[in-house]
């Protein structure tokens, strides 16, 4: 394992910093929260700027339209864009970080040619149809069914916690294609057009007041067989590729953001006198060590992915992503609990940005698989403990 950067990687960092320094001041103001059509337009325009500059799909294989950069260069990209205050990936989150990488690895040549270029150019937005009302993070319990009818599947069921469904063009959808198969089999991974007849989107408002999530209701939606990624009934394996990206690299930029928030917390505490509290100082110091360790763990995971794929571009993050996700989601909650202690009564002000972040932090121990799911993965696949029932 080598966590140092090569001369080529440092040169890549220098060029990226220069481009960010020249580009970011020219960006328009970001639209307010919950104005999703405007937010989609803003996020897609930023993605187009990255594409034109050669930074879109950085670590995707070149034959999938990417730049063929190493996972380490991708890590540098995530770190530098966050440090520079560049726009978050936003509405393009699922397409760029989940669906796109999965199609790049598991899709046919025709599927890669159809779906990947519009994702990279910021022309088509994807959402994720994995969670169901009665299944939660237990994806093997999903009940949305797909029945073959000639050259298509007829899909009926419902999904929940579907991010950005209101403005999405496509959905990465898990369906049960063999009801008689064991729980982890008989599942298929489909690409569903969101404008297909029978698709209904109902927005949800979260505890934090945001509306980026929605419910999906699917009433005999017709999806061509050619939209299935991977073999029929092999969707569980394909989904593990998707989740490896989600847990392995999708939260990397947010670790950098948490470290910046922690620095602001320390400054605020010094300004309002809370810094005199030795217990609070120790708490902030421990969090600083936690996020530093998480960043090193990320580098370790990326290094491991590069070892398993010497070519770099299509490396799939390993199960170490579950260790990262488990601890990161808990540390994020602890960070905003500390923020509430620093700002005192202001924490009750719903308009304070740290109040909204504190409320939304609760969801991080559920999103991308609950902490209990991550503990099971760590126990079974890393520690080699017996599988639970």
Position 297 pLDDT exceeds 50: yes
Helix (H) or strand (E) holding 146: strand 145-149
Cα(274)–Cα(262) distance, integer angstroms: 14
Structure tokens at 328: 């990161």
Highest mean pLDDT range out of 78-82, 240-244, 340-344, 360-364? 340-344
C-alpha distances (whole Å) from 3 to each of 143, 169, 300 are 43, 39, 7
Using alpha carbons, select from 194, 170, 34 the residue that is nearest to residue 94.
Answer: 170
Answer yes or no: are the C-beta atoms of 331 and 290 closer than 8 Å: yes
* Residue 354 CB burial class (10 angstroms; 0-12, 13-18, ≥19): buried
**Partners of residue 204 on adjacent β-strands:** 213
21-30 pLDDT per residue, tens? 999 999 999 9
β 170-176/126-129 pair status: parallel
Distances (CA, A) of 321 to 32, 104, 324, 381: 32, 20, 5, 12
Q: What is the mean pLDDT of residues 277-305?
A: 87
Q: From residue 201, give the alpha-carbon distance in Å to each of 35, 83, 160.
A: 16, 35, 10
- Examine the pLDDT at 271 and tell me if it is beyond 90: yes
Whole-angstrom CA distances from 335 to 311, 329, 338, 353, 359 are 37, 10, 5, 13, 12
Which pLDDT score, from 0 to 100, does residue 309 have?
56
Pick the closest to residue 66 from 81, 78, 76, 56 (CA basis).
56
Going by C-alpha positions, the residue among 134, 158, 128, 127 that lies closest to residue 144 is 158
Most confident option among 139-143, 224-228, 344-348, 374-378: 224-228
For tokens 């470290």, the residue is: 259
Of 80, 172, 246, 290, catalytic: 246
Q: Checking DSSP bridges between strand 152-159 and strand 199-204, what pairing results, if any? A: unpaired
Q: If 0-12 CB within 10 Å is exposed, 13-18 middle and 19+ buried, where does residue 76 land?
A: buried
DSSP state of 161: S
* pLDDT for 182 beyond 50: yes
Cα separation, 131 vs 110, whole angstroms: 28
pTM: 0.81
Q: Token match 């924490």: residue?
A: 347
CA distance 318 to 249: 10
Distance separating alpha carbons of residues 321 and 373, to the nearest angstrom = 12
SS3 192: strand
State both tokens at 257: 């953001």
So what's the pLDDT on residue 139? 78
Contact 364, 333 (CB under 8 A): yes
H/E stretch holding 117 reads helix 109-120
Cα-Cα-Cα-Cα dihedral sign, residues 172, 173, 178, 179:
positive
Q: In the predicted model, what is the mean pLDDT of the chain?
A: 87
Q: Per-residue pLDDT for 295 more than 70?
A: yes
Q: Is 246 a catalytic residue?
A: yes
Each residue of 337-386: pLDDT tens digit? 999 999 998 888 888 888 888 888 887 887 777 888 888 888 888 888 88
Enter the tokens of residue 338: 């500390």
- State the average pLDDT over residues 109-135: 93
Report the C-alpha gap between 163 and 41 in whole angstroms: 16
């Amino acid at each position: 394992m080598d966590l140092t950067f090569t001369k080529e990687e440092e040169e890549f960092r220098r060029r990226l910093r220069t481009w960010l320094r020249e580009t970011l001041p020219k960006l328009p103001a970001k639209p307010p929260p919950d104005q999703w059509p405007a937010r989609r337009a803003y996020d897609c325009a930023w993605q187009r700027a990255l594409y034109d500059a050669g930074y879109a799909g950085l670590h995707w294989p070149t034959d999938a339209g990417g730049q063929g950069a190493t996972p380490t260069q991708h890590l540098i990209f995530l770190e530098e864009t966050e440090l520079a205050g560049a726009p978050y990936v936003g509405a393009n989150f699922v397409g760029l970080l989940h669906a796109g990488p999965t199609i790049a690895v598991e899709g046919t040549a025709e599927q890669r040619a159809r779906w990947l270029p519009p994702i990279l150019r910021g022309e088509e937005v994807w959402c994720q149809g994995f969670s169901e009302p009665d299944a939660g993070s237990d994806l093997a319990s999903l009940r949305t069914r797909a029945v073959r009818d000639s050259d298509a599947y007829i899909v009926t069921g419902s999904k929940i916690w579907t991010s950005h469904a209101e403005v999405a063009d496509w959905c990465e959808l898990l369906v049960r294609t063999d009801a008689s198969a064991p729980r982890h089999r008989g599942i298929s991974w489909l690409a569903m057009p969101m404008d297909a007849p029978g698709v209904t989107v109902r927005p949800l408002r979260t505890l934090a007041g945001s509306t980026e999530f929605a419910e999906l209701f699917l009433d005999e939606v017709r999806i061509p067989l050619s939209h299935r990624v991977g073999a029929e009934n092999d969707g569980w394996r394909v989904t593990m590729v998707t989740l490896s990206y989600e847990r392995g690299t999708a939260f990397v930029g947010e670790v950098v953001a948490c470290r910046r928030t922690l620095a602001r917390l320390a400054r605020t505490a010094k300004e309002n006198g809370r810094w005199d509290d030795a217990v609070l100082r120790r708490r902030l110091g421990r969090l600083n060590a936690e996020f530093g360790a998480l960043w090193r763990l990320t580098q370790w995971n990326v290094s491991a992915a590069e070892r398993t794929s010497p070519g770099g571009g299509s490396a799939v993050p390993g199960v170490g992503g579950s260790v990262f996700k488990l601890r990161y989601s808990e540390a994020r909650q602890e960070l905003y609990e500390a923020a509430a202690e620093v700002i005192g009564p202001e924490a009750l002000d719903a308009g304070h940005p740290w109040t909204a972040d504190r409320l939304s932090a609760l969801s991080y121990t559920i999103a991308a698989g609950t902490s209990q799911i991550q503990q099971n993965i760590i126990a079974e696949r890393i520690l080699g403990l017996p599988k639970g029932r």
